[in-house]
Amino acid sequence: MQPYTQRVIEVIKAIPEGYVMTYGQVAGQAGSPRGARQVVRILHSMSESHNLPWHRVVNAKGEIAIKDEEARYRQTLYLSGEGVEVSGSGRIDLEKYRYTEMDFID
């Protein structure tokens, strides 16, 4: 497995309950500031096998990015379930729930 992929997985697993990170943030923490789309690919293919909290990753505007209705519904359910407010249109207040204290990672 590619080291970048490995780091992305670690970063995502480090997002605590009740918080979210954007794709760009995750990419940056993993060492590739322009790698947001790779984060997408990784979540899409490895979230299940690696037991990742994929629902804690949202886009830069603080919205649920996924299009599929089913998964979209599950994500809002998971988030609200752990204390993150999600508006009817799938928006989240980043000022409030964005996770930034990830300096402890290498």
Partner DNA sequence: AGTGTGACTTGGG
Partner DNA sequence: ACCCAAGCCACAC
| Spatial separation of the C-alpha atoms in residues 86 and 68, rounded to whole Å | 17
Q: Is 40 in the site for DNA (CB under 7 A)?
A: yes
Complex with DNA: residue 89 or 106, whichever CB lies closer: 89
Distance, in Å, from the CA atom of 42 to the CA atom of 31, rounded to the nearest integer, reads 15
* 23 binding DNA? (CB under 7 A): yes
Tell me which of 10, 47, 99, 102 binds DNA, using CB under 7 A.
47
Going by DSSP bridges, is the β-strand pair 21-22/57-58 parallel, antiparallel, or unpaired?
parallel
| Residue in this structure with the two tokens 């990419």, named with its chain if needed | 27
Rule CB under 7 A: which residues touch DNA? 2, 22-25, 32, 34-41, 43-44, 47, 54, 57, 59-61, 65-67, 71
